[in-house]
Amino acid sequence: MYKAIKDLKSTVQSHRIYEQGYGAANKAGQRFGQLKPSIKIVVVMLALSVLWILSGVIFPNNHKLAKTMAGKQQGYKIETSKATQYQQYITISATTEAEKQVPLKVEIDAKVIEVVAKEGQYLKAGDPIVNLEVQNRKESLAQTEAAFKRAQIEYNASLALYDKQLASNADKALALANFKEAESAYKRAQLEMKRTIIRAPFNGIIDRIEVKAGDYMQAIQGTSVVGTFITKGTIIAVGYVPEKDIGQLSDGESVQLLRNGSEPITGKLHFISRIANPATRTFRVDVWAQSPEDDPIFSGQTVELKIPTATMNAHLVEASVTTMDMTGKLGVKVRDSSGVIQTVPIEIVGEEGGKFWISGLPDEAELVVLGQNYLQDGEKV
């Protein structure tokens, strides 16, 4: 009885240890999956280095033991890998900006009577935002309109008299000059009245309003801005591409915009600068995209641009297939057409779903996918 209870306790304790170990491993796996591709590659390379060092400690250079395990127990596995076309990308950081972002300015000296719109409100072109004091501009408009109409009548009359030879050229010229002067004054008065209302310059959002009722505005630099107006929908992501990659880009290419915590969206490569930044030797690129209604992109956000470059033939392999020599060079073990094992140097060109895209192999190769440490270069299997 006592022995049975003791065995049961031992079993329960072992189960708890297993659960703790499994939970820790599961969490570690989830964290690894959230890492960026470049960081994953570094982690795997470090892990390979550690395993390579430990293999020399745990399994000394005993070729006989390795050969026995490989030959008798088949401690290795070889699979045929075929290259497929792989689309290479470059990923760069970028900053977003609105398609249009303009300051709204007053063009007359006047007091703010009413702020009609609200910050963040969507407006159509021509919708009012701020009303300014009219003062005597309404009366001035009425007076100049009357003067314009009177001058027009007088000019028409002078033309009729001139045709009947009852007026001289000088009379006609004077009437025309008076008419033009009255017309200009009337147009100025109309423009002054028009400027008493600050309106939306295009369809978009009034992002910021910097005035309130009672503020006195002057049409001079520094005191004339009443707010900022931006477009809604189209967003531009501005990034800079290194000179080694700029020749591989093409206008109109589809580009992915990546944001933390949001689904990727697709845009178009709209502009590629032909002039490098002299300080950084990089070239500006603009990607245009539509900001999602349910998860908008804001002006000034940092995003990543995944831009397609060249295509190449590459093999998609598990990370565990790769090896590392004493100099830190990556490779994979392959069996050649004669059945001889050899290590072929490779380059990791991409990452996908925890696997690596590698180059450096022929289009078809027999890869050692298990038991690389048991097989030595030059060994025939």
pLDDT digits (tens, 9 = 90+) for 286-323: 999 999 988 999 999 999 999 999 899 999 999 999 99
For the chain, what's the residue count? 381
**Over the stretch 196-218, which tens digit does the pLDDT of each residue have?**
999 999 999 999 999 999 999 99
Residue 261's pLDDT is 85
Both tokens of 212, joined, read 């309130």
CB atoms within 10 A of CB 33: 10
| pLDDT score recorded for residue 71 | 45
pLDDT of residue 209: 96
Q: Which residue numbers in the chain have pLDDT < 70? A: 1-74, 221-223
pTM given for the model: 0.64
Euclidean distance between the first and the last CA atom of the chain, given in angstroms as a whole number: 55
Q: Which residue has the tokens 């178009």?
A: 268
Residue appearing with tokens 């209604």: 293
Looking at residue 117, its pLDDT comes to: 97
Buried b (16+ CB within 10 A) or exposed e, 220-250: eeeebebbbbbbbeebbbebbbeeebbeebe
Averaged pLDDT of the chain: 84
